[in-house]
Amino acid sequence: MIDAVQWQLFIPMLCQPVWNWFTEAAWVAGHIPESVVPVEWSPPKFEAVDPMKDAMADLLSIRSGTMTLAEAIARQGRNPDAVLAEIASMNTKLDAAGIVLDSDPRRVTKTGSAQTTDAFAATDTTD
């Protein structure tokens, strides 16, 4: 219900009009080059009753192609680009230190077995 209120009432009836007013005022004042500035709304994450089931539902949606990774991250109230940059940075640090975590899908399968070197080489795009 809260998700519906956010997307059907709060964002279109309050957030978007305030944003439109703000950008138009900034344009009239000469602070921005155009009066229309696109915006993407991302309401704060709503705490789940059963986070495990929600995570599994997101995983299945991503794996089946009905939701993107960026959508799943945004649903958590985070910026997808910032999260991916953080993951890349941490992976670089782990690789430099020679640390392999059992949660790293680049190196370990879902069951915890080590990936074959061929599987990792196929996804390595550092060439």
Reported as a single tens digit per residue, the pLDDT across 28-86 is 999 999 999 999 888 776 777 888 998 899 999 999 999 999 999 988 888 899 999 99
Residue 69 maps to a domain: yes
Provide the 3-class DSSP secondary structure of residue 114.
strand
Domain with 102 in it:
94-127
- 57 with 35, same domain: the answer is no
Residue 73 CB coordination number (10 Å): 19
Asked if residue 88 is part of any domain, the answer here is no
- Residues 31, 50: one domain? no
Provide the pLDDT confidence category of residue 117 given band limits of 50, 70 and 90: low
Please state the rounded mean pLDDT for residues 3-22: 90
Q: Are residues 55 and 37 in the same domain?
A: no
Read off the pTM. 0.56
Per-residue confidence (pLDDT) for residue 88, from 0 to 100: 95
Contact indicator for 94, 105 with CB cutoff of 8 Å: no
